[in-house]
Amino acid sequence: MKKNIHPEYHSIKVVMTDGTEFITKSTYGKEGEVLKLDVDPASHPAWTGGNAQIRENAGQVARFKKKFGNIKV
């Protein structure tokens, strides 16, 4: 195995969308850094059964409905 090609592996704190935190090992950032999640199993519809809504930042659905909403099939 080649030496000095692997990223540094260290402890970071992960903060979930509901505020819960845990410490894990990662190559993300630097030792002790905080990774704040925007989407996690507590908020993503794939894990919650579709009850949660994902925020749409770009307005893609609204633009689509505006452009193609009057088409009758």
| One-letter amino acid for residue 35 of the chain | L
The four Cα atoms 22, 25, 28, 34 give a dihedral, to 10 degrees, of 30
| Residue 50: predicted pLDDT | 61
| Rounded CA separation 49/59 (Å) | 23
Structural domain boundaries in the chain: 10-68
User: Could you give the strand order of the β-sheet that contains 10-15, starting from the edge strand earlier in sequence?
Assistant: 21-26, 10-15, 34-36
Q: Pick the more confident residue, 44 or 65.
A: 65
| Residue 3: predicted pLDDT | 86
pLDDT, one tens digit per residue, over 7-59 is: 889 999 999 988 999 999 999 999 999 999 888 887 777 777 765 455 665 67
| Residue 11: predicted pLDDT | 96
- Cα 67 off chain centre by: 29
